[in-house]
Structure 1
Amino acid sequence: MIQTIRGFRDILPEETPMWQKIETIAAEIFRNFGFQEIRIPIMEKTELFARSIGEATDIVEKEMYTFPDRKGDKLTLRPEATASIVRSYIQHKMYAADPVRKFYTVGPMFRRERPQKGRYRQFYQIDAEVFGIASPYIDAQLIQILNELFKRLGLSGLKAHINSLGCPECRPGFQKALLEFLSARKDVLCDNCLRRMEKNPLRTLDCKVPACRKALEGAPTTLNHLCPDCSTHFDTVQSTLKAQNVEFVVDNTLVRGLDYYSRTAFEILTTALGAQSAVAGGGRYDALVQELGGPQIPAIGFAIGFDRLVHIVEQLEQEKPKDGPDLFLVALGDKAMENCHLWLSQLNLSGLKAEMDYSGKSLKSLMKRADKRNARNVLIVGDEEIKTDALVLRNMETRTQTTISMDDPVAEITKLISNI
């Protein structure tokens, strides 16, 4: 039997409704903020990702699916979407009429990482990019869009972690200070960090090796080396987020994993499932369009880990109390069954979501059935209740009981349940 490749998976029919739900909500928010959908190839020339992402990154060094075609050209399955969207923006001269463009895309990315729970070699992202706007207000707006999307999906404990990575004017001073700091700790750094010190010292701050992370405690931060323009830009991002009531924290250890970022970098974390978990990240990349052959046009974007987001939303859906009927009628005996059936139709027509079981089982069995259906209330109707003109309405949440008369039970029940 042929099975899927390790790290790849099928998204089965019972799973796709959740994916469609998230896509629909995301698309609605994007449209409201003026974004248009773009669909890009899953394969590009390797040079595109090597030049944009950075040759000293884990993605380019270890994780890309790269192979030669029949002519010997090196091709790569896209590991992320930003570079492809920038390439499309340049190739089709979308900047000619108006450099300001907003795009979003949804689709698979490919990285040869170690497969584990929630992490796949073919994974999915929701990606958004804005071109032609240098203002810090757009940085804050993208973070606000993410915050709103996650709120609509029911995520709680949302907090943006933000940092400024500076610009070509102030980055050299920071890199010099960082290199001096790293040079004094060469003996405890891993081989990857030693190699990256020469190519891009900033990449060492992204190392996950425990010994390196400990050695990097107290390292210089970009925030201490920002030029006046970068400092003003970052201050405006913060004040705007406060005005938009978006929770955030300044995290000077946040560098993101790609070389093209400058100025604002951010991640969105949630405590929806208890432990803090990152669900999106992005930042500004003002030099990338020019570096890939286009004009000098500022840009910023973000990517959402779709697989992780689906997992979180599914877990939250499972924890929610299931939507059950307003009333479940328990009929004990033939006369009770006859009355309950008539009342059921009237209750449904009055606007209440009412159900009953026609099996004629015992009170205990029917109460279990009502509980399984998550009924808010149960009306118990038996020969004794009819004889004494005292039907029993039980609130399943409070476990309190109310006596209902046979005179006009539908009106009385409707009034009581509507007021609960």
Structure 2
Amino acid sequence: MSKPEKIVAIKGMNDILPADAPLWELFENTAETILKSYGYQKIVTPIVEETGLFKRAIGAVTDIVEKEMYSFTDSMNGDELTLRPEGTAGVVRAVIEHNMVYDGPKRLWYKGPMFRHERPQRGRYRQFFQFGAEAVGFTGPDIDAELIMLCRRLWDDLGLQNVRLELNSIGNAEERLRHRADLIAYFESHADILDAEAQRRLHSNPLRILDTKNPAMQEMVNGAPQLLSYLGEESRAHFEGVKRLLDRNNVQFTVNPRLVRGLDYYNRTVFEWVTEELGSQGTICAGGRYDPLIETFGGKATPGVGFAMGIERIIELMKGLGEPAQPGQCDVYMVHQGEEAQVQAFILAERLRDAGLDVVLHCATPTGAGSFKSQMKKADGSGASFAVILGEDEVANNVAAVKSLRGESGEQQQATVAFDAVVDHIVDAIVGGHDHDHDHVHYHP
């Protein structure tokens, strides 16, 4: 009989292995703590939405909609569905559907997987994870600045270096239309320099040409009309308000007139946090204001602003700082030998978990249950503070051997403890208590 063919993960959809879990947990715990400190509340939306949601939000003439979305027809009812390529559209859909701003503005955050069919690169995958925030119902530059400063606090708390802020304003729809007309005319006057991609976008999405990475077009693009020159009084005042708040809070930034963002729903403030340490994929967080989006979805006109950050890219930066201190796999490792000892180990493990401790119970492998020596080796490797040992003698005398695995200077002590006193003995030791019931405990080397 031939050996079955091995199945591997789909290209660009990666496993997150236990060895990487501490970095992910550090990022997620830090980010969630900071979002909570700013008054943001968690929202969870479905991974699958109607395809029309993203076409309307992102824009039909964008790389995401045209090339990258994982879309399919539901074979059960014919619905056109898509795995979400970004998070904002789903959050806004939920805000409208559940009338969430009826009693005032909302600060929301989310995390989860997104899906785009693009060429996998370092920190950029076809299934990737985003952490994002959306502030809905706020009009002023203050909320824009708050979100930016929130990100700065996250970089500081994670210890990330060499992350810089780029900022721009893309004004309102009327201002962009005037700029768009002049931009198209400018590009048409340099048609001989435009590459095929730029020619395709010339009349559908000319702003995206400003993002070109084609070296042959850089000098021409640098001379293109700048959107900042088209801003009216209100848009300019809003942008100046954002910059003033950042300046007064010592947030350094660079105004980048070519920063336009790739999604159709943005207006006024747009920003990116970028680094030089990830090669061409240097943007780790991007966002901006999207006041027209909710009305576009059929809701009442409501302002909004938000950001999204790619967790994989941030994890790559965190790896450059070294591994975080990793806690042990558990507090207690249960070692046992014999059928009745196994039963008693299960009982005691549950009691220890009831007391709030993390417990790993040794279980049989294809090579057998393992000797006391081999089990103790696993106990030590688990990072546990204590090993609880049960064998025939312990069961017969209704006791357990409790061995400290992390004593000072590597010293290990073992105590014989009455079975019903084991939980209190270990809890007291872990919290630094000194009120052990010595009638039940007999220490020996």
> Would you call these one fold, judging by a TM-score over 0.5?
yes
Residue 35 of structure 2 corresponds to 30
Residue 93 of structure 1 corresponds to 99
- The total of aligned residue pairs comes to 327
Residue 139 of structure 2 corresponds to 134
Contact 1:189 1:215 in 2 (8 A): no
Which amino acid letter does the alignment assign opposite residue 44 of structure 1?
A: E
2:78 is matched with which residue: 64, 69, 72?
A: 72
TM-score normalized with structure 2 length: 0.70
Unpaired segments ≥5 residues, structure 1: 323-352, 359-420
Counterpart check, 1:41 vs 2:46: yes
Shift of 1:275: 9.6
1:259 is matched with which residue: 261, 264, 268?
A: 264
Contact 1:128 1:301 in 2 (8 A): yes
Residue 325 of structure 1 corresponds to none
Counterpart check, 1:220 vs 2:213: no
Q: Distance in 1 between matches of 2:293 and 2:281?
A: 31
Secondary structure (helix, strand or coil) at the match of 2:240 reads helix
Q: Distance in 2 between matches of 1:270 and 1:203?
A: 21
The residue correspondences of 1:366-385 to structure 2 (distance < 5 A) are none
The residue correspondences of 1:16-415 to structure 2 (distance < 5 A) are 16-70=21-75, 71-98=77-104, 100-270=105-275, 277-318=282-323, 355=409
Shift of 1:287: 0.2
Shift of 1:205: 1.5
Q: Distance in 2 between matches of 1:115 and 1:81?
A: 20
Contact 2:272 2:286 in 1 (8 A): yes
Which amino acid letter does the alignment assign opposite residue 260 of structure 2?
A: V
Q: Distance in 1 between matches of 2:280 and 2:189?
A: 35
Contact 2:172 2:267 in 1 (8 A): yes
Q: Indicate the percent of aligned positions where both proteins have the same amino acid.
A: 44
* Residues 306-315 or 151-160, more deviating: 151-160
TM-score normalized with structure 1 length: 0.74
Alignment deviations for residues 62-97 of structure 1 (CA, whole Å, 9 cap, x no partner): 111111112332111100000010011111111222
Q: Distance in 2 between matches of 1:355 and 1:215?
A: 67
Shift of 1:220: 0.8
User: Using a 3 Å threshold, how does the CA distance of structure 1 residues 284 and 91 change in structure 2: closer, same or farther?
Assistant: same
Q: Distance in 2 between matches of 1:263 and 1:311?
A: 31
Secondary structure (helix, strand or coil) at the match of 1:120 reads coil
Q: Distance in 2 between matches of 1:267 and 1:13?
A: 31
Unpaired segments ≥5 residues, structure 2: 1-5, 327-406, 413-445
Contact 2:111 2:131 in 1 (8 A): yes
Shift of 1:198: 1.5
Secondary structure (helix, strand or coil) at the match of 2:203 reads helix
Residue 355 of structure 2 corresponds to none
Residue 372 of structure 1 corresponds to none
Alignment deviations for residues 302-357 of structure 1 (CA, whole Å, 9 cap, x no partner): 00110010111122125x999xxxxxxxxxxxxxxxxxxxxxxxxxxxxxx97479
